[in-house]
Structure 1
Amino acid sequence: MPVPQGRGLVSRSLLRDDAYRAIRDAIVGGTLAPGERLNDSDLVEWLGVSRTPVREALARLEQAGLVQTKPGRYTIVSPLDVRAARNAQSVTTAMHELAVREALPNLSATEIDAMREANARFASALQRNDVDAATSADDDFHGVLVTASANRALRDVLEQFTPVLRRLERLRFASLSGRESVAQHARIIALCEAGDVDGAAAAVRANWETLAPLLDAPLAADDATADT
């Protein structure tokens, strides 16, 4: 067969994706704080890659709302934006509900067990106050249903909007309110095991809607400041 053109595209794509994930995780985890300037040269040195994958990663992060760029001047980590977070919550909630509806009719016992195991890790991480491990376990829990849905478009949407919420979720998992998710996860598992599509979808929606208080608090503070 003809040799494909554009040699090196695979490795370049992997470098770009790796750079994207590394910078994204640093922003979500708080290592790169809101408002912090991002210099290409510093990122190149940190990641050990060339400027091209770094710039491609930053462009993707800007599209996701995690960085802001002023061409020729600066790139900064986006401040926490209540409106953007509300929009992201609406979209991700709908996508996870859709994932349940598409995955549940064919969900296997192995996948149910994987959800149960992820929730056990999630509970353990919360008890240790390990926010990073809790976030990872929560990703794994919901990821079972997302993967089982076999809906690539759904996964792409979540890839774009979930990081915006994860910045807020870290606050929730670091508080006592995050521990409510363990019981909510257990209810989702029970409903999935029973084959109750509507019930499981409603439980998943309720789980993601627990972020609402974190979205309301900054807005209330901003309004109070504006009134003074």
Structure 2
Amino acid sequence: MPIPSGAAGTDRTLLRDQAFRTLRTAIVDGTLEPGERLNDAEICEWLGVSRTPVREAVARLEQIGLVTVRPGSSTTVSALDVRATVEAQAVAAAMHELAAREAVPVLAPADLDAMVAANDGFAAALTAGEIDAAIAADDAFHGVLVRRCGNRRVTSVLDDVTPLLRRMERVRFSSLTGRSSVAQHARIVELARDGDADGAARANRDNWLTLRP
């Protein structure tokens, strides 16, 4: 038989990943609410893709706990699962602790400046009540350490567990309790600037453990 061209597989993978990211974002930001039923045909029309990448994306969303699939019946956006969120929080905290421990020894001044700028943006967004901007700034802050640690496994694990925490973050960052993260971020930067990898790692872990379901 002829050897299949790699282009078709690559295109399908890209479509699947695009569908996954779009649906994940819509679930996390509340566009698709808990309990809402997902219809393949409607999603295909919305995203402009065929059923195959949509079904593959939905299967991946089920694996990370964002949708519930009842074969032959329905697919719905999962309700906020407290136990699953607690489990995801513990894993995320451990990964961010590892990221900081490995990243601090190789941080450049520009990295520290980026973390300070992200924390300033985070504080401003919280004050303005701009929750999406606050989450983006928080991502930017922690993203410096995740990128600089150079551990692809950390990135992979966080890609799976972080979406489960996003809906909880929206609640936290919309309340006054989220303001404590600004000071915690500043402490992480201070420890990193001093070259205290273990201290920064512990502070980073504790920051993630303050997110309470």
TM-score by length of 1: 0.89
Aligned-pair CA distance for 1:53: 1.3
Match of 1:225 in 2: none
2:49 counterpart letter in structure 1: V
Match of 1:150 in 2: 150
Match of 1:180 in 2: 180
Match of 2:132 in 1: 132
Query: Is the Cα–Cα contact under 8 Å of residues 191 and 199 in structure 2 kept in the other structure?
Result: yes
Query: Is the Cα–Cα contact under 8 Å of residues 102 and 197 in structure 2 kept in the other structure?
Result: no
CA deviation vs aligned residue, 1:185-212 (integer Å, no higher than 9, x gap): 1111111111111111111111111113
Aligned-pair CA distance for 1:122: 0.9
Identity of aligned residues (%): 60
CA deviation vs aligned residue, 1:137-171 (integer Å, no higher than 9, x gap): 11111111001111111100000000001110110
- Structure 1 unaligned spans of 5+: 216-228
Match of 2:160 in 1: 160
Partners of 1:142 and 1:183 in 2: CA distance: 14
SS in 1 for 2:210: helix
Match of 1:6 in 2: 6
2:204 counterpart letter in structure 1: V
Partners of 1:116 and 1:45 in 2: CA distance: 42
Instruction: Say yes or no: does 1:93 pair with 2:93.
Output: yes
Match of 1:223 in 2: none
Aligned-pair CA distance for 1:37: 0.5
Partners of 2:9 and 2:47 in 1: CA distance: 19
Partners of 2:74 and 2:90 in 1: CA distance: 30
* Pairwise CA RMSD: 1.3
SS in 1 for 2:126: helix
CA deviation vs aligned residue, 1:15-64 (integer Å, no higher than 9, x gap): 11111111111111111111111101111111111111111111111011
Match of 1:226 in 2: none
Counterpart mapping for 1:21-100 below 5 A: 21-100=21-100
Question: What is the aligned residue count?
Answer: 211
Query: Is the Cα–Cα contact under 8 Å of residues 191 and 197 in structure 2 kept in the other structure?
Result: yes
Query: Is the Cα–Cα contact under 8 Å of residues 188 and 204 in structure 2 kept in the other structure?
Result: yes
- Structure 2 unaligned spans of 5+: none
1:14 counterpart letter in structure 2: L
1:61 counterpart letter in structure 2: L
Aligned-pair CA distance for 1:92: 0.4
Aligned-pair CA distance for 1:93: 0.3
SS in 2 for 1:76: strand
Instruction: Say yes or no: does 1:104 pair with 2:104.
Output: yes
TM-score by length of 2: 0.95
Partners of 1:59 and 1:32 in 2: CA distance: 17
SS in 1 for 2:34: coil
Aligned-pair CA distance for 1:120: 1.2
